[in-house]
Structure 1
Amino acid sequence: MTQPTWRADPLTFGHGPSLFETFLEPTCPYSCRAFGKLDALLALAGEDKITIKLRFVSQPWHMFSGLLVRCVLASSTLPGGKDNAKTVLAAIAEKREEFEFDHHFGGANLDATPRQIIDRLEAYSGIDLWDAFAIPDLDKEIKWHAKYARQNGIHVSPTFMVNGLVQPDFGSGDPVEKWAERLLG
C-alpha cells in the first residue's frame, strides 16, 4: 500500500524582485494587524514589484500557537493551497479571542480542548481541516518554519525581513504606504 503524498503550498504572494518575509504567530494581536495589511501592501506596491512570503514563528506564551500553526499549514495542503491558509489566518485574526487565553493564562479557553479549537476554526473558516491536520509528517513543514526563523535570529512576532535582512524598525503599526516605500526604495 502506497502512502498518500502531500505538499504544503508555499505561502507566497506576488512575484516581484523585492522580497518581504513576514514572521507571524496566528494569535498575536500585532501579527494579526500585520497580516491584515498584506493584501493592501500587495495591491499598493504591485504583484510584479514585490513578493510576500508568510513564515511562522510559534510562541509558547500563546498557548494554542503550535496547534494553530499546524492548522494553517495543514490547510495549505488542501485544494486551494495558499488561499486556504490566508482564509484560516483571517478567521483566527477576526475571532482572535476564540483562540487565545486571557492574559496568556486564563479565561474560557482554559477549558477548551485542541479538538474544540480545531472544530471552531473549521466553523469560522469554512475549511475542513481534520484530514490535513492528521498528516503524519506535517511536522516537517512546521519544523522548517521554526528552523528558518531561528536561523535568521527571529524569536518574536511579527518580524519582517526585506531581501533577506531583518528590519527591526518595521512595525505592524506602520502604515502600508511606509512599507511599500521601503520595499520599492
Structure 2
Amino acid sequence: MPATPSPLHVDPLVWGHGPRVFEAFLEPTCPFSVRAFNKLPDLLARAGEDRITIRLRLQSQPWHMFSGIIIRCILAASTLEGGRDTARAVMAAVAAHREEFEFTDHCAGPNMNATPNDIIKRIEHYSGVKLAAAFAVPELQKAIKWQCKYSRQNGIHVSPTFMVDGLIDPAISSGDTVEAWMERIFA
C-alpha cells in the first residue's frame, strides 16, 4: 500500500507567546510595510517574548504588481526547514531589495519584462532559499486564501495595518518608533 502523503505544513508567522497579541498586516514590497517589518524584531526584544505575541499577516495589494507571487514565495518558505524563520529571511531579502520587485510608478519600468519565474529566481538569489519546488505545491493555495479571508473578515484593506488583541488600532503607524508602538500596545 503506498504511503499517504503528509499534509503540507505552513508554519505560522508568529513570534513570542505573550498575552498581548500584535498583528501586523504587511505587503512585502510596500515601503511603509518594509519599515514596519524591520521594527518587529526590536519590538519583540523590547517587549519580551513572554509579554507579546507578534503575528505577521501578509496583505496582498494589487498595485504592487508582483505582490501575489512574492507572498506565495514567503508562504512557500514557511513550509521548508526553518519554517517561520526561513519565511522571515525571504521577506527580509525582498525588503532589502524591494526595488528589484517593484514597477516604476506601479506601472512601468524594467519589471514589465519580468516573469513569475524571474521573480522566484531573484528571491532565491537574494535570500539563499530554494523556493521553486515549494512554490509549485498546489496545496499552498489554501494558506494564501486564508491570509486574504482573514484580512477581509477583519476589515483590513491596506498595508500596513495593525491590530492589538483583535482590534484595529489606526493610531499605530509604520513611522512610529518602537517605543511609541509599545505605548499603544500596552496601554
Q: Same-fold call, TM > 0.5?
A: yes
If the length of structure 1 is used for normalisation, what is the TM-score?
Answer: 0.98
Per the alignment, residue 135 of structure 1 pairs with: 137
Where does structure 2 lack aligned partners over 5 or more consecutive residues?
none
Per the alignment, residue 30 of structure 1 pairs with: 32
Percent identity of paired positions between Structure 1 and Structure 2: 62
Query: Separation in 1 of the partners of 2:87 and 2:132?
Result: 14
Query: Separation in 2 of the partners of 1:127 and 1:5?
Result: 22
Q: Is the contact between residue 75 and residue 88 of structure 1 (CA under 8 Å) also seen in structure 2?
A: yes
Out of 101, 119, 122, the position equivalent to 1:120 is 122
Per the alignment, residue 50 of structure 1 pairs with: 52
Matches of residues 170-181 of structure 1 in structure 2 within 5 Å? 170-181=172-183
Local SS of the residue matching 2:57:
strand
Matches of residues 1-185 of structure 1 in structure 2 within 5 Å? 1=2, 2-185=4-187
Query: Separation in 2 of the partners of 1:183 and 1:9?
Result: 25
Q: Is the contact between residue 10 and residue 83 of structure 2 (CA under 8 Å) also seen in structure 1?
A: yes
User: How many residue pairs end up in the alignment?
Assistant: 185
Query: Separation in 1 of the partners of 2:71 and 2:32?
Result: 16
Q: Is the contact between residue 76 and residue 82 of structure 1 (CA under 8 Å) also seen in structure 2?
A: yes
Query: Separation in 2 of the partners of 1:165 and 1:108?
Result: 40
Q: Is the contact between residue 30 and residue 158 of structure 1 (CA under 8 Å) also seen in structure 2?
A: yes
Give, as a single letter, the amino acid of the residue that structure 2 aligns with 1:120.
R
Query: Separation in 2 of the partners of 1:181 and 1:154?
Result: 22
Aligned CA RMSD, in angstroms, stands at 0.9
